[in-house]
Amino acid sequence: MASTLVQKITIGFRQMMPLSPLLELIDALFSTYDANEQHQLVAAIVDDKVTTAYPPLRSYSLRFYKYVINKYESRGDEVDEGLLERYLSILNQTPSGDETCFKSYQTDLTQPDQTVTIRIAAQYNQVGLTIWTACFLLSDFVLQHPDLFHGRRCLELGAGTGLSSLFLCRAARPSSLVITDYVPQVMTNLVGNLLINGFEIECVAEDQAHNMASLPGASSSKIEPLKHTSTAAEWWCSGKYYGTQVDVCTLDWQDMHTSSAIPQLEDIDTIIAADVAYDTRAIPHLMRALTALLSPETHQSEEHQPSRVAYIATTVRNPDTFQVFNDQLTEAGLHYENITKDCNHSPLFYYPKEDIIMYKIYSER
């Protein structure tokens, strides 16, 4: 069993936590002069199958490994051969023109091999290809309240990299999940992330089949033609993940007038989203989508339907923008409750919890 410090360092390196606090953890480990702990660290980072298969950013890895090596050398200790080999192998790699890397997150502190891996853009200016902090609070909320999602028919708006949806399936096992975004580049990366984590494609839209075939993991999936579109949504693919029926599609909030026009959205009863209220120009379209999805006039059947609810995590970067979000929720007849206190900061994710707010949203009409 690895020590707590080794566990924290391994978790931090896999998810590319900011280097400063990560290096402080390494300092703390080496300050103890515990040879066994240091051996555990080397074994954990050199033999880690996760970061070997899905490496963090090259420059990040080089700084991390070099820092550990310097710790040994500063004390006059012999540097582990495997550690040196790993550092040199990364150093000698030819930098790729593909500006992407991977972040991996444990789903359980007691199971280091149980991870969710996400491919992201190296540059933060690519909005849908980056994991934003509110996504971690949303994932923490899902992990701590799986009963709110178990057996439900769920939808993620603006899924981006797909991290929250992956944790939702792993932790809560909803009966179905529709994962949505809009930009083609983001959608391709989203499906790729699902495949990396074991998503089994059952069918794919005919005009997207070539994209599916080129993604890692797609070659082992059964792909059949499927064509389903509407004015607001264009389906990409369907399949299973941890027993949940998953559909992936683009969703244009501007064309969302009623969810009954989109068959796969008719029975949605639970919505999740993170960092979707950062732009005042997009907030009215978000309201249109939420109103259509949460409206009590839609999805009715003879059977009792659970009340429809949305859980939205938002980082308050600009108080004025956040106020616009609140005001437009009220104008749309949507009730919201601040339930941030119901979500604890877990050690599975490194992120600042300050300025992130979790809302429970439902229709008053």
pLDDT for 202 equals: 86
pLDDT for 94 equals: 82
Q: List b or e across 6-45, with b for residues whose CB sees 16 or more CB atoms inside 10 angstroms.
A: bbbbbbbbbbbbeeeebbebbeebbeeeeeebbebbbebb
pLDDT for 152 equals: 96
Residue 362 identity (one-letter amino acid): Y
pLDDT for 1 equals: 47
pLDDT for 114 equals: 94
pLDDT for 259 equals: 56
Task: Calculate the alpha carbon distances from 137 to 164, 302, 326, 345, 355 in Å.
Answer: 9, 36, 19, 7, 11
Give the whole-angstrom CA distance, residue 321 versus residue 326. 9
pLDDT for 173 equals: 97
pLDDT for 128 equals: 84
Closest alpha carbon to 196 in 273, 115, 96, 107 = 115
pLDDT for 35 equals: 78
Q: Are 196 and 117 in contact (CB under 8 A)?
A: yes
pLDDT for 306 equals: 46
Give the whole-angstrom CA distance, residue 249 versus residue 194. 13
Range list of β-strands (E), the chain: 100-106, 115-121, 153-157, 176-181, 200-205, 225-226, 233-241, 244-251, 270-274, 309-315, 334-338, 356-363
Give the whole-angstrom CA distance, residue 71 versus residue 53. 26
The 10s digit of each residue's pLDDT in 318-327 is: 999 999 999 9
Segments of the chain with pLDDT less than 70: 1-2, 33, 96-98, 124-125, 211-213, 216-232, 257-264, 296-306, 364-365
Pairing of the two strands 153-157 and 270-274: parallel
